[in-house]
Structure 1
Amino acid sequence: MRNLPMFGLTHGNRSAVTCDLKCDNACSRPAPNTSCEPTFQSVASAALSRRALLAGGGALAAAAAMPIVHAQEAEASSRAAGGLKFTPIASVDSTKDAFTVPKGFRWDPIIRWGDPLFKNSPAFDPTKPSAKAQALQFGYNNDYLDIIETNRGGTEALLVCNHEYTNRAIMFPPATTADEEAEVLRTLKAAHGFAVVELERRRRGEKWSYVRGGYHNRRITADTPFAFDGPAAGSDLLKTKADPEGRVALGTFGNCSGGTTPWGTVLSGEENFNGYFVADPAARGSKRYGLTNAASSYGWEKIDPRFDATQADYAHEPNRFGYIVEIDPTDPKSTPVKHTAMGRMKHEGANVRVDDDGTVVAYMGDDEKFDYLYKFVAKNKYRKGDSRAARKHNLKLLSEGDLYVAKFSGVQREDNANLGTGEWIPLTKNGKSAVAGFTLEEVLIFTREAADAVKATPMDRCEDVQPDLKTGRVYVVCTNNDARGTAGKPATDAPNPRTANKNGHIIEITERRGRADATKFEWDLFLVCGDNGQAGTYFGGWEGPVAPISCPDNIAFDSAGNLWISTDGQPSSIKKNDGLFKVPLHGRERGHLVQFLAVPVQAETCGPVIHDQDGSVFVAVQHPGEEGTWAAQNSYFPDYVAAGAKPGKGDWRGPRPAVVQVTRR
């Protein structure tokens, strides 16, 4: 494992520790996409000429854009802000180790790293790293999260989340022998993956508690068998010495955002898988996916030969990661699936929309500078109901279908309702490759190369991509791209309007005729993030004060149709902690963004779940106090912050990533 980087902020607003551990210092290296011309494609200047350019905004013409109200939104616009009522909080200083909520609310951790999940789970003890113990305990650094109620009374639920990555420096003490360090590496490996945990409470509106030893409780780790399905399953490009059939992969890791399907399963994206491998830089796909022959971020190649892909026996092991995975939380004995039909990339996640006719579509982003926006249209239709036949059918919906990549244009409609239009370019069609020079298997395993070939639009790091199930509009979160418009890099364009985009933006897409399987769409810029009043910012047409926001990451919708945004890197100029924000999408309050909560020092806000009708908001608090060391921790979250107390003698002296519930007092 490499030495940790120096502390402080990187080119964006992230900590250098996050960049090293979470994405293998992707920002410090040349972007893997070298296929796009430095000047990119010209977006119609006519589309920009009628809109005043903001000072310092470059191509940012969206500030004068008029909010759109579609026919679908007639009822939605009357809802105005709606939803959970609260008094917004002020931004919290970035040195504060506190979880901050509005007046009249309280916060409680539901479950933390190391909490025992099973009756035979050992108690949490970070002074004695044990892979066997960690595989029976709650994992580290949750990103995607959902709370799925399972009975009519709302007193039972399943908590489902992924465990994205680990931070060895603050989790365990320095090893004194090689054997101790090897056990630490095995324990870190076991802290990745997924957790499914039963929850219970006495009545609605109260806080949840997790059930130790619950029937559905499950840990999925970097060694759990996953079945490949779809057209690339069994491909020679997926075969290794350990899996000569190319049909069973061991484990999942680097999982970021995700979504819960209408048929009750959970999807998650394998994102920064490249940082786990030592690979041959000359192998196909290595450069495009950021794989190198340097020591990996985690050092797993020291304890498991499959992570050294320079060996012929495991040359294809990296090809077995970078997929959308599907997990059935209701069946603890089920085998999780990796869907090759949905392509291979640094998947942020996938979110599903089902049209009235049963058409199933999943929207996905590739979280890398100058990579692309995708969608997958299933071949078969969704079947309603809970029958065994319907469930068996629906569990295969993401195994076959057509994969598309987005190409944006700045040409507007005649009525000037939108800033631009776009099209979904097919990469696969009717079970065959739609890209010249690529076989079907090559499209699905080297998806980035196929998207390069059809000249898709390079984006500013597509993070969460979610459809609003009330209006059908799709929201694309572009978290940042500090290389945009810099020397030798693609220039600004209409959907990516800012040079050296450190603060990110959100795009609003409307599919033609409101159909999820449409190949044409219209789009507008909804938010262009930054400090309040900063030149170049835009908040859906709202002209009053807003909360400062940067690096939007995960999003969610409440029952009133408002958008909730979690962040990963607040504006460095104001040095504030990350948080969760609410912004109306409709009516007079459209764009009026306010802050609901702030997470502790050096933490990221992840996986928001909004049960506003129940009076609850849930978030996963990832990497609190990440710049600390074992001997000098920077956070005591979540066990001491609430009371403002310091740990006593013999107490655990460090942070524990946790899932938190916020409720009214």
Structure 2
Amino acid sequence: MTNQKFDASDDAVCNQSGNESFRTILARTFSRRTVVKGSLASAAGTFIASSAASSRSLASGQLGPDSKLLDFLPVSLAEGNGAIPTVSPDYDYQVFIPWGDPIEPSGPAYQWPPSAEDQRLQIGIGHDGMTYFPMSADSESFDRREIYRNAVNYGSKHGMLCINHEFGTNPHVLGKDAPESIDDVRASQHAHGVSVLEVKRYGRQWRLVNSKNARRVHVNTPVRFSGPAAKSDLLKTPNGNIPLGTVNNCSNGETPWGTYLTCEENFNGYFGASNRESQWTPSKEQERYGFSENGFGYGWHVYDRRFDLSDADFTNEENRFGWVVEIDPFDGTQVPVKRTALGRIKHEGATVVEAGDGRVVVYMGDDQRFDYIYKFVSKDPWRQMRSEGRDPLDDGTLYVARFNEDGSGVWLPLDMSVPVLAENFASQEEILVFTRLAADKVGATPMDRPEWIAVAPNQDVYCTLTNNSQRTEATGANPLAPNPDGHIIRWRDTEQHSGKKFVWEVFLISEETHGTEQSFADPDGIWIDPDGRLFIQTDGGQKDGLNNQMLVVDTRTKEIRRLLTGVTGDEVTGIAVTPDRRTMFVNLQHPGNGDPSVTNFPAPLDGVTVPRDCTLILTRKDGGIIGS
């Protein structure tokens, strides 16, 4: 059993716009060797100079340019391929919250395969992006924004953990190739979504605790829409069913006001067409988002009419997915909110940063071959907007990136003020519901599967580009044509994130590391700590005999050390840290691709027990900062 159907959804090409590709721009402008060295022309040269200067002030002056960021013993190539995880000798890990454990200690115990009712109260499958929200000892009355900023002591041992559940194949979840009833479908649906958990450290061990705010947000949870497209007819169905659910929750974000952003990625694969009432053929909009008659083979549409593209009563149901969803981890009664101003794409993540002028900026990648990188900028400073009762994520401008061949870039607005959009779209609502088509029209640059985005202390922005060749081996001198193993780019916006221009460079090319102790491929998850350490997580065919892994990079010197390798057939993904940075939560997704003959982790190896997605909690043996 593999997750090939799921992987193919990322690698398929839905973009037929003909926009000039990033690969073409890069190949025409720079030789491979020049790119690897990070040497760019004109504007990009300015970028490098400014980055070098600002790196001296990383972490508000806590570390100087000569400080050693990486001082742990790395996992070697020889150790990096096994049926259980391998972590640096300087670190320990705890296995935590595997799929099927109850979200509270008093909940239903794990059994395989799960019932729909039990799975509704259990940790989901497909552990992915996550955020740790620290709590105060007086969390009922303490302002959560102050908790978030200042809770280094108590908050580093007690908090709310929000975790995405991206996907789980039918054989892994149900023990069968296809559902045979609506109950089977509900069990699968309840395994997707988000878990909101209260966690606490006792000594050196973390545990779940009972909490009024612990909950599962899944495919059948009531949700609401907000922002410019919230009342659009494109989000209404003929039978008037209320909006429900979130699915294929990949990466994530967190807001300055203490809420969680979960991102819907490959939502198209859960829909199909039964053709019971009428023959279904995809519209141009459905084609652009990758809808097909059988989807990924989940079979939900056979028993749940919401996911049947040929059912006229549920026309537009598919438009209700593909959004960034905001969840309040401190209020278990809150209805999750889908923020339409951020556009409808296959959201890999939503990285939030405060601009120099106080506005909130959200960077987002659309994870499919030859799709785009976006950013949203709120209309006004976020504190002002919230004080006036306006939501910063509902009012602003959505942009898409164009990478120019001279190392410069432009953020192209996606609104009705742009003539080509006014000519092709009836309203701003339509632009936001069909964001991919709008980005095609303005001439955005197709990228090689944009995934996670992270912002460094010096304001450089990093984005992983996983690959563009369906993860096959490649030969030839230029890794970008084709690009089987991916790379990482970085850019710097003008006006500290709120400007309409940027300069960019290639930071790392995966192929350049192969055959060395720094070997990695298919970069996916990333996070940058306040000292300038870049954490890279991988999802794909690693080279040199490695499992998927997590590495740490000194962004000043590009020194790379391997901190962790996962188990055979898994993906290493998701990063959350406590305020003191001495505890890190990392996920292992689909260990063994769900096949017990490959691995049984986290259970002891027996060749029979079904492996379970889980979280690893990393700590340094000496109690130091993670990554150091």
TM-score tier (shorter):
0.7 to 0.9
Q: In the alignment, is residue 98 of structure 1 matched against residue 84 of structure 2? A: yes
Q: Structure 1 or 2: larger helix share?
A: 2
Contact 2:99/2:123 (8 A) holds in 1: yes
Partner of 1:559: 530
Query: Which amino acid in structure 2 is aligned with residue 224 of structure 1?
Result: T
1:256 to 2:250 alignment: yes
C-alpha deviations, 1:70-104, integer Å up to 9, x for none? 34333228255655742111136675101111113
Kindly state the Cα deviation for residue 43 of structure 1 after the two structures are TM-superposed. Answer: 3.9
Instruction: Give CA-to-partner distance per residue, 1:221-244, whole Å, 9 cap, x none.
Output: 100011111111121111114436
- Supply the distance in 2 between the matched residues of 1:261 and 1:100 (Cα, whole angstroms): 33
Corresponding letter in the other structure for 1:593: I
Q: 1:230 to 1:653 in 2, by over 3 A?
A: same
Change (3 A) 1:425 1:436: farther
Q: Summarize the alignment of residues 431-470 of structure 1 with structure 2, pairs less than 5 Å apart.
A: 435-438=422-425, 439-468=427-456, 470=457
- Check 1:568–1:401 CA distance in 2 against 1; reply closer, same or farther (3 A cut): same
Query: How far off is 1:301 after superposition?
Result: 1.0
Which residue, 196, 210, 216 being the options, matches 2:213?
216
Would the aligned equivalents of 2:379 and 2:397 in 1 still touch at CA under 8 Å?
yes
SS in 1 for 2:430: helix
> Whole-Å Cα distance in 2 between the matches of residues 278 and 46 of structure 1?
41
1:589-639 deviation digits (Å, cap 9, x = unpaired):
x211111001111110111234594432220110001162xxx53212113
Q: Which amino acid aligns with 1:161?
A: I
**1:600 and 1:635 in contact (8 A); partners too:** yes
Go from structure 1 to structure 2 and tell me whether the alpha carbon gap of 1:249 and 1:182 turns closer, same or farther (over 3 Å shift): closer
Query: Structure 2 vs 1, CA of residues 390 and 401 (structure 1 numbering), >3 Å: closer, same or farther?
Result: closer
Structure 1 unaligned residues grouped into runs of 5+: 1-6, 8-16, 412-419, 487-491, 535-544
Is 1:123 aligned to 2:109, yes or no? Answer: yes
Q: Which amino acid aligns with 1:442?
A: E
Does residue 272 of the first structure (1) align with residue 266 of the second (2)?
A: yes
Q: Does 1:473 align with 2:447?
A: no
What residue number does 2:148 align with?
none
Structure 1 residue 646: Cα displacement: 3.9
C-alpha displacement of 1:120:
5.4
Q: Distance in 2 between matches of 1:196 and 1:391?
A: 27
Classify the secondary structure of the residue corresponding to 1:73.
helix
AA matched with 1:289: Y
Distance in 2 (alpha carbons) for counterparts of 1:603 and 1:103: 21
RMSD: 3.0
Closer, same or farther: CA 324–40 of 1 in aligned 2, 3 Å: closer
The answer to whether the Cα contact below 8 Å between 1:359 and 1:516 also exists between their aligned partners in 2 is: no
Q: What does residue 539 of structure 1 align with? A: none
1:221-278 per-residue CA deviation (whole Å, 9 max, x = no partner) reads 100011111111121111114436xxx5210101111111111111121110110111
Change in 2 beyond 3 A, CA 1:315/1:622:
same
1:153-302 alignment, distance < 5 Å: 153=154, 154-174=156-176, 181-202=181-202, 206-211=204-209, 213-243=210-240, 248-279=242-273, 280-294=280-294, 296-302=296-302
| Rounded Cα–Cα distance in structure 1 between residues aligned with 2:160 and 2:386 | 22
Cα displacement string for residues 151-182 of structure 1 (whole angstroms, at most 9, x for unaligned residues): 2423311111111111222344449x986x54
Aligned 8 A contact 2:371 2:449 in 1: yes
1:143 to partner: Cα distance: 0.6
Query: So what's the TM-score if we normalise by structure 2?
Result: 0.86
1:68: Cα distance to partner?
A: 3.7
**Equivalent residue, structure 2, for 1:654:** 610
Aligned to 1:499: 481
- Structure 2, unaligned runs of 5 or more: 137-150, 274-279, 622-628
Question: Who is 2:403 aligned against?
Answer: 408
Residue 317 (structure 1) aligns with: 317
Letter in 2 for 1:618: F
Give the conservation status (yes or no) of the 8 Å contact 1:111–1:658. yes
Where 1:341 maps in the other structure, the secondary structure is helix
CA distance in 2 between partners of 1:25 and 1:63 (Å): 32
Superposed displacement of residue 359, structure 1? 1.0
SS of aligned partner of 1:188: helix
Q: Give the alignment partner of residue 602 of structure 2, picking from 623, 638, 658.
A: 638
- Report the counterpart of residue 553 of structure 2 in structure 1: 583
Residue 293 of structure 1 contacts residue 310 of structure 1 at CA under 8 Å; is this kept in 2?
A: no
Distance 1:609 1:294 in 2: 35
- 1:425 is aligned, of 393, 412, 416, to 412
Q: Give the 5 Å matches for 1:286-435.
A: 286-294=286-294, 296-383=296-383, 390=386, 393=389, 396-411=391-406, 420-428=407-415, 435=422
d(CA) in 2 for partners of 1:436, 1:62: 43
**Are 1:532 and 2:518 matched, yes or no?**
no
1:16-165 equivalences in 2 (<5 Å) = 17-20=2-5, 22-23=6-7, 25-27=9-11, 29=12, 31-36=13-18, 43=25, 47-48=29-30, 53-54=32-33, 60=35, 62=37, 64=39, 67-70=48-51, 71-76=53-58, 78-79=64-65, 82=68, 85-91=71-77, 96-118=82-104, 121-127=107-113, 129-151=114-136, 152=151, 153=154, 154-165=156-167
Q: Secondary structure at the match of 1:274?
A: helix
Q: Tell me how far 1:313 sits from its aligned partner.
A: 1.0
**Percent identity over the alignment?**
35
SS of the equivalent of 2:216 reads: strand
Deviation for aligned residue 1:517: 1.3
Q: CA deviation at 1:511?
A: 0.9
Contact 1:369 1:460 in 2 (8 A): yes
Aligned length: 582
Answer whether contact 1:143 1:622 (CA < 8 A) is retained. yes
Could you list the per-position Cα deviations for residues 189-212 of structure 1 after superposition, in whole angstroms to 9, with x for gaps in the alignment?
Answer: 110010011011246xx332111x
Could you say what secondary structure the match of 1:423 adopts?
strand
Distance in 2 separating the partners of 1:81 and 1:611: 23
Amino acid at match of 1:639: A
Shift of 1:530: 2.4
Contact 2:179 2:299 in 1 (8 A): no
Aligned partner letter, 1:109: V
AA matched with 2:172: I
* Residues 664, 302 of structure 1: alpha-carbon distance in 2 compared, 3 angstrom cutoff: same
Contact 1:73/1:471 (<8 A) preserved: yes
**Could you say if the C-alpha distance between residues 220 and 46 of structure 1 is closer, same or farther in structure 2, counting changes exceeding 3 Å?**
closer
TM-score with structure 1 setting the length: 0.81
TM-aligned CA distance change 1:433 to 1:46, over 3 Å? closer
Q: What is the rounded CA distance, in whole Å, between the counterparts of 1:561 and 1:325 in structure 2?
A: 29
Measure, in 2, the Cα distance between the counterparts of 1:654 and 1:198: 26
C-alpha separation in 1, matches of 2:248 and 2:175: 23
- Counterpart CA distance in 1 for 2:249 and 2:57 is 37
Match of 1:523 among 504, 509, 529: 504
Aligned mates of 2:104, 2:21 — CA distance in 1:
56
Q: Deviations over 1:316-345 (max 9, x none)?
A: 111111111111101110010111111111
Q: CA deviation at 1:524?
A: 0.9
